[in-house]
Amino acid sequence: MTKFKTILLCLVVGIAIQVSSQSKKPVYTDNSQPIEKRVEDALSRMTLEEKVKLCTAQSKFSTHGVPRLGIPELWMSDGPHGVRMEILWDSWDHANWTNDSCTAFPALTCLAATWDPAMSHLYGNAVGEEARYRRKDVLLGPGVNIYRSPLNGRNFEYLGEDPYLAGRMVIPYIQGVQENGVSACVKHFALNNQERWRDRIDVQISDRALYEIYLPAFKAAVTEAKVWSIMGSYNKIRGQYACENELTLNKILKGEWKFDGCVITDWGGAHNTKEAALNGLDIEMGTWTNGFTFSKSNAYESYFLANPYLKMLKSGEIPVSNVDEKAARILRLIFRTAMNVNKPYGSLASEEHHMVGRTVAEQGIVLLKNTANLLPIDASKYKTIAVIGENANRRLTEGGGSSELKPKREVSALQALTEKFGDNKIKYAMGYGSGAVSYDMVNKSPYDEAALRKEAVELASKSDIVIFVGGLNKNTQQDSEGDDRRSYGLPFGQNELIAELQKANKNIVLVMLSGNGYEMPWLKQATTLVQGWYGGSEAGHAIANVIAGEVNPSGKLPFTFAAKLNDYGAHSFGAIAFPGDSIKEEYKEDILVGYRWFDTKKIKPLFPFGFGLSYTTFEYGKIAADKKQYAAGETIKLSFTLKNTGKVDGAEAVQVYASQPKSSMVRPAKELKAFKKVFLKAGETQTVELEVKANDLAFYNDKNHSWSLEPGEFILRNASSSADVKSSVSIQVK
């Protein structure tokens, strides 16, 4: 080769190397690289100041990114029933955008009442698509706090009283959301089982109740659904704030469950820099407790995990490895969401999403009583149909606190019933009234109650049939965040009104919309009762379809309706057990929550957990197990036949409960271990197959801090509710 040729070749190779190294993207921006490599690479390029910045908010609902490296911020939104309207940068006020109207999906109690994980996936995926379209990276929900008392203002945002039901239902919701490159943020971890004094109440609880009742749904979210973020709650747990809690965050969540995502505070849930930093908090949002209530311009720099944290890192009081770990988790969350180039585009308030909402609402509605066969209504039999009650015509997607929504559409029961039966038949009277949506206490009706009642009773007496639509609403001290209900009764004189309507007309269909149980002094006289929940945008259509029989109800209660408040475990031990003395609260009923309490103590509820009727009837065959004896780690295969013995198609949520007659520890009379929603055509029979893992029959042993599967006899029962057992089989576990 001549000298000239050699020089030319060197030049060409040199240029090629230069071009290729210029076009090579940094590893952290390269989606084809494993996420851990990207995290490591990004981390290696960041300054201490940049890492700290990742840990705090820059506005009410967003965090700092790393602008120098092109790493975007995280945008968050409530959750869990739809994507909340835009909120101003620096305050809680609505931003009043015109392009942020969403689909309002049913409240989570309604989703739980479907007893159908497939509904949960549809729901999660649709709300995830809306979050994605609205460019949110984190959807603040779903909530899985256990229904401990019917006074909890936020029960409507949760999945009921049973850890197994809540766990099975939360998994597909989370998966559905995250398929969109949007993180679900399961909340409120943990023990936020009331709103009163939520900012400080210190929960005293046994390890056993913690592991058996209050944690399993969170555990399912982390270990099975692989949720990418979790929200710490406001309350204290054994003396330490939940957002800075060594036991729940470091030991259980990040230690035992190996959570690799981010712990985000509830808004204002951080209290101390060192505790937050060392005890597992990753992202601090909404802090106002340090004197910046209405955030001044520098408020964010004064967050516990902002400048005060940087100072401690620089002085060596907190090791730098601490921020490296947090930054790694936050980067992982950013790569999974904001910097995920493979995510779909999403969609907002589409017809498809409204149909998802309607289907979930229809599947969740629970028929509680139908002794006069008024339902389904045969409209040809009636000339006049009175619709009575404020909830028939009220917007129930507004209010309630952070789950408030600005829906593109909200169909009321009155509107849908009028569409269905015609306005020549339907006449409306309000009957009672609570006034506008409000975050102030509205315990007294702003209306002339007597006049409203008189008008309604007159209408009822001259109508052929009455559909009463009442219940609770989203005002403070009802089904709303920030405070609890103060009594178990229905508000605004509804009990008196219902009693008078019952005298005026014997054909009354009671439709109750709420996220909580309530007293029913009028139940004996009532022939027809429907629990309708909060059904979101399509609530009215779902109710009307069930009333008219176009949909056969198949929902079942996700919590127990007690006859009176003190029948609930939490209310059986005086104020220290609920709501506490404002400082401390003792969960004295321990593991006996919901039906576990009612069954074990032999207290008859108004309606048991798992109960719901249908327009058809089902016949259960005897339950059988595939073997007589099982070892730990084995799966128990159960089967029985189920027949639709009525004249219409329908679905039945079949349930399997377990008990251990002899044990060294108190064991509940029954515990839900499996369920399935089975659809059967009229006359059809199916063999239902269900599985229970022998290990799931264990209890949590406080003494040696581990799960114990005590050998011996276990009884497995198939049932249509926790109180209606059809048959049982005895098995041995070795």
Prior bond of 271 cis (ω within 30°): no
Least spacing, CB of residue 61 vs ligand BGC, in Å: 7
In angstroms, what is the minimal distance from the CB of 635 to ligand BGC? 37
Q: Closest separation between CB of residue 144 and ligand BGC, Å?
A: 12
Q: Is 79 in the site for ligand BGC (CB under 6 A)?
A: yes
Q: What is the pattern of x (binds ligand BGC, CB under 6 A) and - over residues 708-727?
A: --------------------
Does 267 contact ligand BGC by CB under 6 A? Answer: yes
Question: For ligand BGC, which is the closer residue by CB, 73 or 78?
Answer: 78
**Binding status of residue 558 toward ligand BGC by CB under 6 A:** no
Q: How far apart are CA 406 and CA 452, in angstroms?
A: 29
The dihedrals phi and psi of 382, each to the nearest 5 degrees, come to -125, 135
Contact 534, 479 (CB under 8 A): yes
Q: Is 232 in the site for ligand BGC (CB under 6 A)?
A: no
Catalytic pick among 100, 266, 479, 483: 266
Instruction: Name residue, tokens 């790493």.
Output: 71
* Chosen residue from 266, 275, 282, 671 binding ligand BGC by CB under 6 A: 266
Q: 185 to 204, contacts with ligand BGC by CB under 6 A? A: 187
What stretches of 180-262 show up as alpha helix (H) in DSSP?
Answer: 207-209, 216-219
Verify whether residue 202 is a known catalytic residue.
Answer: no
Q: Is 156 near ligand BGC (CB under 6 A)?
A: no
DSSP code per residue over 641-678: EEEE-SSS-EEEEEEEEEE-SS-SS---S-EEEEEEEE
Report helix, strand and coil shares of the chain as percent, to nearest 5: 30, 20, 45
What's 367's DSSP letter?
Answer: E
In whole angstroms, what is the distance from residue 636 CA to residue 405 CA? 44
Quick one: 81 or 394, whose CB is closer to ligand BGC?
81
Instruction: Name residue, tokens 């108190």.
Output: 666
The minimum distance between CB 340 and ligand BGC, in angstroms, equals 22
**Cα–Cα distance between 226 and 677 in angstroms, integer?**
25
Q: How far is the CB of 78 from ligand BGC (least distance, A)?
A: 5
Asked if 706 contacts 593 with a C-beta cutoff of 8 angstroms, the reply is no
- Give whichever of 234 and 428 is closer to ligand BGC, judged by the CB atom: 234
Answer yes or no whether residue 78 interacts with ligand BGC by CB under 6 A.
yes
Residue 545 one-letter amino acid: N
- Which helix (H) or strand (E) segment holds residue 691: the answer is strand 685-693
| Residue among 532, 494, 552 nearest 156 (CA) | 532
Shortest separation between residue 286's beta carbon and ligand BGC, angstroms: 6
Q: 720, 726 in Cβ contact below 8 A?
A: yes
Question: In the bound complex, what is the minimum distance in angstroms from residue 167's beta carbon to ligand BGC?
Answer: 20
Nearest Cα to 405, choosing from 437, 445, 362, 367?
437
Does 402 bind ligand BGC (CB under 6 A)? Our answer is yes
Closest CA to 638 of 617, 650, 655, 653: 655
**Residue 607 DSSP SS3:** strand
Q: Are 650 and 614 contacting, i.e. CB atoms less than 8 angstroms apart?
A: yes
Per CB under 6 A, contacts with ligand BGC among 465-484 are: 481
Q: What's the closest the beta carbon of residue 85 comes to ligand BGC, in angstroms? A: 12
The footprint of ligand BGC on residues 581-640 (CB under 6 A) is none
Q: Which C-beta is closer to ligand BGC: that of 154 or that of 358?
A: 154
Q: Which residue has the tokens 């090629």?
A: 16
For tokens 């705090």, what's the residue? 56
- Of the two residues 267 and 432, which places its CB atom closer to ligand BGC in the complex? 267
State the minimum distance, in angstroms, from the CB of residue 481 to ligand BGC.
6
Closest residue to ligand BGC using C-beta atoms: 402
By the 8 A CB rule, do 42 and 69 touch?
yes
Q: Which is nearer to ligand BGC, 60 or 556 (CB)?
A: 60
Can you read off the two tokens belonging to residue 130?
Answer: 């809306």
**Structure tokens given for 681:** 């055509």
How far apart are the C-alpha atoms of 573 and 579, rounded to whole Å? 11
Task: Characterise 633 by phi-psi region: left (phi > 0), alpha (psi -120 to 50), beta (else).
Answer: left
Q: Which is nearer to ligand BGC, 376 or 400 (CB)?
A: 400
Give CA 485 to chain center in angstroms. Answer: 19
CA-to-CA separations, 553 to 368, 433, 528, 718, 720, in angstroms, rounded:
10, 28, 13, 21, 14
List the interface residues with ligand BGC, window 125-144 (CB under 6 A).
Answer: 140
* Residue (50 or 481) nearer to ligand BGC, CB: 481
What is the C-alpha separation between 684 and 647, in angstroms, rounded? 10
Cα distance between residue 421 and residue 690, in whole Å: 42
Q: Are 105 and 533 in contact (CB under 8 A)?
A: no
**DSSP-derived secondary structure for 129-155:** HHHHHTT-SEEE--B------TT-TTG
Least distance (Å) between residue 259 CB and ligand BGC: 19
State the minimum distance, in angstroms, from the CB of residue 301 to ligand BGC.
21
- Which residues here bind ligand BGC, judged by CB under 6 A? 78-79, 140, 187, 266-267, 402, 481
Which residues carry out catalysis? 266
